[in-house]
């Protein structure tokens, strides 16, 4: 005889944990199935191990920071939003604090404390948990049947698939759920890496001239075929042995990836080291540095203009000797230096793999999902939540917000199906 549950949630990441808690809170006999050894792996490493549980920006700003179909979430946010996430965790005894850009962290600075609190809540709500239990497939019918790889078969009135995408596979997100969605008739849109470091074949990357160099509060832009900025982000970045990385790069990455998916072999990027100043103001700054230093070498007179390695790089790029005396510096040289400080252009040619990305772009096609319930339009009593959906945001608490909100809604409406 098959075990029968009201709701089975597949996936023990942030969205699955929230879905299981939500289903149980709404009275459903709930089973949470996780293929790994423990629950909350992705949550445990989020925010550098401190767990960025959500973001406190206004709702419209949150949506703007979820450029991958964030508007789909408006209906869900009307039921459960980022402020509700804060209330939820504080109600469970997890005190939170707000940091830069609205990011919310536990006061403990411990992601593990957040995971343990969620597990305690599952236990309190008497949710049955199966770990080390990979799912082989899901078959849909009057009762949906979840087949485990160990041969066990479990029946349920409703299923929530919350297994994540294909990014960060060591946490268990290996794309298993796409096949189960397809069985139900769902389309999976093209999958691609987002929030991912970018690769470049530029000479200064290949010869590692700038490797390890960090730049603070720069503006980084992705340019289209007509040299118009597709997107600009003002944050930090770093040059690596393969290309570029850091917060500004991660935010720009999906736009680069989409340009390459559209057929471009390489994409031009523009770097502005002084986004708060126009060219004339940079000229004034440089002129002030040079005044009274006519006998100094340029590299010494301008040493506070940019990190030393970047300054030496742009001098060499423009065939200006770093030891040239300030008195011998021409207006043309000044224009060249200002040009590279304000609009240094270079090409990127791709990204690291989807497995190395922080977030998966693409997923279950959203027109096939009811936005107010996360339910399938194609299969009764089937729900999706989290990164398996074609929704993705920037880092900074936006993807976890999506996971927790969609999990909350999916678990609640899956629980309501027991009355059907």
* CATH for 323: 1.10.8.100
Instruction: Tell me, yes or no, whether 159 and 225 share the same domain.
Output: no
Cα–Cα distance, 299 to 304 (Å, whole number): 9
Instruction: Give the CATH number of the domain where residue 385 resides.
Output: 3.50.50.60
What integer is the mean pLDDT of 131-153?
A: 96
Last residue in a domain, options 351, 372, 392: 351
Instruction: Tell me, yes or no, whether 40 and 155 share the same domain.
Output: yes
Instruction: Tell me, yes or no, whether 7 and 101 share the same domain.
Output: yes
Domain housing 206: 197-351
Q: Look at residue 1 and tell me whether its pLDDT is greater than 60.
A: no
Instruction: Tell me, yes or no, whether 206 and 184 share the same domain.
Output: no
CB-based contact 359:393 (threshold 8 Å): yes
Instruction: Tell me, yes or no, whether 174 and 39 share the same domain.
Output: yes
Pairing between strand 192-194 and 359-361?
antiparallel
Q: Which residue did the predictor score with more confidence, 65 or 48?
A: 65
Q: What is the pLDDT of residue 215?
A: 97
Instruction: Tell me, yes or no, whether 339 and 390 share the same domain.
Output: no
Residue 41 confidence class, pLDDT cut points 50, 70, 90: confident
Last residue in a domain, options 326, 351, 376: 351
Instruction: Tell me, yes or no, whether 138 and 219 share the same domain.
Output: no
Tens digit of pLDDT for each residue in 370-404? Answer: 999 999 999 999 999 999 999 999 988 999 999 99
Instruction: Tell me, yes or no, whether 313 and 366 share the same domain.
Output: no
Residue 82, helix vs strand vs coil: helix
If you average pLDDT over every residue of the chain, what do you get? 95
Instruction: Tell me, yes or no, whether 335 and 372 share the same domain.
Output: no
Under 8 Å CB-to-CB from 258, ≥6 apart: which residues?
Answer: 192
Cα–Cα distance, 45 to 195 (Å, whole number): 15
Domain tally, the chain:
2
Residue 420 confidence class, pLDDT cut points 50, 70, 90: low
Question: Which DSSP string corresponds to 143-209?
Answer: SEEEEETTS-EEEEEEEEE----SSSGGGT-SSTHHHHHHHTT--BPPPEEES--EE---HHHHTTT
What pTM value is reported for the model? 0.92
Q: What is the pLDDT of residue 344?
A: 97
Tens digit of pLDDT for each residue in 300-317? Answer: 999 999 999 999 999 999
Last residue in a domain, options 320, 351, 382: 351
Tens digit of pLDDT for each residue in 318-339? Answer: 999 999 998 999 999 999 999 9
CB count in 10 Å sphere of residue 211: 14
Instruction: Tell me, yes or no, whether 202 and 164 share the same domain.
Output: no
Cα angle 139, 140, 143 (rounded to 5 degrees) comes to 110
Instruction: Tell me, yes or no, whether 344 and 383 share the same domain.
Output: no
Sequence-separated contacts (24+) of 207-210 with Cβ below 8 Å: 208/241, 209/309, 209/313, 210/239, 210/309, 210/310, 210/313
Instruction: Tell me, yes or no, whether 176 and 224 share the same domain.
Output: no
């Amino acid at each position: 005889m098959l075990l029968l549950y009201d709701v089975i949630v597949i996936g023990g990441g942030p969205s699955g944990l929230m879905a299981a808690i939500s289903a149980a809170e709404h009275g459903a006999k709930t089973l949470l199935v996780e293929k790994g050894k423990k629950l909350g792996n992705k949550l445990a490493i989020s925010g550098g191990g401190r767990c960025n549980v959500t973001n406190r920006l206004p709702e419209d700003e949150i949506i703007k920071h979820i450029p991958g179909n964030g508007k789909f979430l408006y209906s869900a946010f009307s039921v459960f939003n980022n402020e509700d996430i804060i209330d939820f965790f504080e109600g469970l005894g997890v005190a939170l604090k707000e940091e830069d850009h609205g990011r919310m962290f536990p006061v403990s600075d411990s992601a593990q404390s957040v995971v343990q609190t969620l597990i305690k809540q599952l236990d309190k709500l008497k949710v049955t948990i199966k770990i080390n239990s990979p799912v082989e497939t899901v078959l849909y019918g009057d009762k949906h049947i979840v087949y485990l790889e160990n041969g066990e078969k479990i029946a349920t009135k409703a299923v929530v698939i919350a297994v994540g995408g294909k990014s960060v596979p060591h946490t268990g997100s290996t794309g298993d759920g796409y096949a189960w969605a397809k069985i139900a008739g769902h389309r999976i849109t093209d999958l691609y890496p987002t929030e991912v470091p970018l690769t470049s074949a530029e000479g200064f990357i290949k010869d590692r001239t700038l490797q390890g160099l960090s730049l603070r509060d720069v503006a980084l832009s992705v340019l289209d075929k007509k040299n118009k900025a597709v997107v600009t982000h003002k944050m930090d970045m770093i040059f690596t042995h393969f290309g570029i990385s850091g917060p500004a790069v991660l935010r720009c990455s999906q736009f680069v990836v989409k340009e390459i998916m559209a057929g471009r072999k390489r994409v031009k990027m523009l770097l502005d080291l002084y986004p708060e100043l126009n060219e004339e103001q940079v000229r004034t700054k440089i002129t002030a540095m040079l005044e009274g230093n006519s006998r100094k070498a340029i590299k010494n007179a301008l040493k506070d203009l940019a990190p030393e390695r970047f300054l030496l790089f742009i001098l060499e790029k423009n065939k200006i000797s770093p030891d040239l005396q300030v008195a011998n510096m021409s207006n043309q040289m000044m224009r060249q230096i200002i040009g590279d400080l304000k609009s240094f252009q270079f090409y990127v040619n791709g990204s690291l793999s989807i497995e190395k990305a922080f977030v998966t772009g693409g997923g279950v096609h959203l027109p096939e999902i009811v936005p107010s319930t996360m339910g399938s339009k194609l299969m009764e009593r089937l729900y999706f939540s989290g990164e398996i959906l074609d929704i993705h945001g920037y880092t900074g608490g936006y993807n976890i917000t999506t996971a927790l909100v969609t999990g909350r809604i999916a678990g609640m409406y899956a629980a309501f199906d027991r009355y059907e």
